[in-house]
C-alpha cells in the first residue's frame, strides 16, 4: 500500500526541522558565551606566618645497635645444652649453650691428681732439704713439676670455659640457628645478640658536606612507620677518611633513650647546614618556577597579583620562602593555574 504526502504536510515538516536546528545553534552559542563569562577563579589561600626554618641536607642511613654480636662456639663439639629464648632480653653472663666437655673434665681430673702427688713430693723434699737430706737440684725439679701440673690444670680449665657460650652483654636474643644435639664448629652461628637500649644511626654525606657536622651537632632522624616517627640525634663521630669509591663520609649519631626503632631499619637524616632563619613554609604547588625568580600569587582586595620570591630549603611537600613575603600576605595554594594577574578571584578556603 502506498501513502502520498500532501505538499502542506511536507512544508510543515521542513519548518519544524529548521526551527529545531536554529534552537540547537542558539543553545551552543549560549553555552560558549556562558563559558566566556565565568565568574572569579576559586582559590585556596594560606596566610603567611614566618617561622624559624633551618636549611638542611637530606642523607640516607640505617639504625644500628650500640652492640651487636653473632654467638659462635670457640671449640668443636656436640651441643648438650641450648637455651635461646628468641626475642627475649638476657643479662650479661647468661649461659646460652654448652658443648660436650666430658673428655676435658676427665683430663682435668687426671691433671689435678698429678698435681696433688707432685705437691706431696715437693713437701717431702723441702723438709729433707732443710736437714741437707737431698740436694738442691732434686728439690728444684719437684717444684718445676708442681708448676707444670698447675699450668696443665689451668689450660684444661680454659678449654672447659670455651665449651660454655655466655651472653657477652645485656641484650635481646635473635632467632635460634641450631638445635640441641647438633655438632658445631667455631664457624657455626648459634644466635645473634644486640643491645637495643642504646641505638645509633649511621648515615653518609657527600665529601663536600663533610664540614657541616662535628661531634655534638644535632640532626633529625625520620623513621618510617605507622605513624612515622621523628627523633633528634646527636652526632658522636665521623669516619676519619672519605670512602675512595663513593666519595662519601660516614657519620654516626646517637638516638635518644627510648627511641622506637629496630636495628637495621632505614632512616632519613636531616642535617642542618646553617643557623635557623625566619621563613614562610608554603606547599610546593604554590610556587611557580621562573627563569629569573620564582613567583607566588597573592590575593589583595579580591584580585590576583604576582609576587617574586626567593625560595630556600625544600622539606617533603613544603618549601621555605626566605624573602618576598610579609606577615599576613594571602598566598594562593590551590587554583594557581586559574588565576591571572589583576583579575578578580574568590577565596574558597583560607588557613
pLDDT in tens, 114-123: 999 999 999 9
Query: Could you give the CA distance from residue 230 to residue 25 in angstroms, rounded to a whole number?
Result: 62
Highest mean pLDDT: which range of 122-131, 179-188, 305-314: 179-188
Helix H segments across the chain? Answer: 7-36, 102-130, 136-162
Confidence (pTM): 0.60
Q: Which residue has the higher pLDDT, 109 or 206?
A: 109
Per-residue pLDDT tens digits for 183-214? 999 999 999 999 888 899 999 998 887 788 88
**Helix axis angle, 102-130 to 136-162, nearest 10°:** 160
Looking at 3.40.50.2300, 3.40.50.720, 2.40.420.20, 3.40.50.12280, the CATH number of the domain 41-53+277-350 comes to 2.40.420.20
Other C-beta atoms closer than 10 Å to the C-beta of 177 total 15
| Average pLDDT in the chain | 84
Q: What b/e sequence results for 114-138 when a residue is b if at least 16 CB atoms lie within 10 Å of its CB, and e otherwise?
A: bbeebeebbeebeeebeeeebeeee
- Nearest to residue 347, comparing CAs of 47, 45, 37, 48? 45
Beta bridge partners of 137: none
H/E stretch holding 294 reads: strand 294-300
Per-residue pLDDT, 54 = 66
Per-residue pLDDT, 14 = 41
pLDDT band at 19 (very low <50, low <70, confident <90, very high): very low
Fold of 101-162: Helix Hairpins (1.10.287)
CATH superfamily of the 58-66+195-272 domain: Efflux pump adaptor protein, beta barrel domain (2.40.30.170)
Amino acid at each position: 500500500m502506498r501513502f502520498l504526502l500532501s505538499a502542506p504536510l511536507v512544508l510543515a515538516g521542513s519548518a519544524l526541522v529548521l526551527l529545531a536546528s536554529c534552537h540547537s545553534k542558539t543553545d551552543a552559542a549560549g553555552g560558549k558565551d556562558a563559558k566566556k563569562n565565568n565568574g572569579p577563579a576559586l582559590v585556596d589561600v594560606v596566610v603567611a606566618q614566618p617561622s624559624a626554618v633551618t636549611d638542611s641536607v637530606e642523607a640516607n642511613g640505617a639504625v644500628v645497635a650500640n652492640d651487636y654480636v653473632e654467638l659462635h662456639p670457640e671449640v668443636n663439639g656436640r651441643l648438650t645444652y641450648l637455651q635461646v629464648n628468641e626475642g627475649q632480653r638476657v643479662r650479661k653472663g647468661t649461659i646460652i649453650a654448652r658443648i660436650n666437655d666430658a673428655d676435658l673434665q676427665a683430663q682435668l681430673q687426671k691433671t689435678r691428681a698429678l698435681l696433688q702427688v707432685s705437691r706431696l713430693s715437693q713437701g717431702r723434699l723441702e723438709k729433707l732439704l732443710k736437714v741437707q737430706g737431698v740436694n738442691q737440684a732434686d728439690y728444684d725439679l719437684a717444684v718445676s713439676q708442681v708448676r707444670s701440673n698447675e699450668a696443665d690444670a689451668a689450660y684444661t680449665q680454659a678449654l672447659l670455659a670455651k665449651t660454655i657460650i655466655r651472653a657477652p652483654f645485656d641484650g635481646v636474643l635473635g632467632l635460634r640457628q641450631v638445635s640441641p644435639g647438633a655438632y658445631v664448629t667455631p664457624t657455626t652461628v648459634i644466635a645473634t645478640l644486640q643491645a637495643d637500649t642504646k641505638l645509633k644511626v649511621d648515615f653518609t654525606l657527600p665529601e663536600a658536606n663533610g664540614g657541616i657536622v662535628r661531634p655534638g651537632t644535632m640532626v633529625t632522624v625520620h623513621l618510617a612507620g605507622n605513624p612515622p616517627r621523628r627523633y633528634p640525634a646527636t652526632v658522636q663521630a665521623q669516619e676519619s677518611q672519605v670512602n675512595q669509591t663513593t666519595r662519601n663520609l660516614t657519620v654516626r649519631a646517637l638516638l635518644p633513650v627510648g627511641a622506637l626503632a629496630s636495628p637495621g631499619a632505614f632512616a632519613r637524616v636531616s642535617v642542618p647546614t646553617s643557623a635557623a632563619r625566619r621563613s614562610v613554609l608554603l606547599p610546593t604547588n604554590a610556587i611557580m618556577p621562573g627563569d629569573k625568580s620564582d613567583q607566588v600569587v597573592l590575593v589583595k582586595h579580591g584580585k590576583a597579583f604576582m609576587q617574586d620570591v626567593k625560595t630556600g630549603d625544600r622539606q617533603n611537600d613544603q618549601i621555605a620562602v626566605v624573602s618576598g613575603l610579609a606577615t599576613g600576605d594571602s598566598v594562593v595554594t590551590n587554583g594557581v593555574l586559574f588565576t591571572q594577574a589583576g583579575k578578580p578571584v574568590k577565596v574558597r578556603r583560607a588557613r
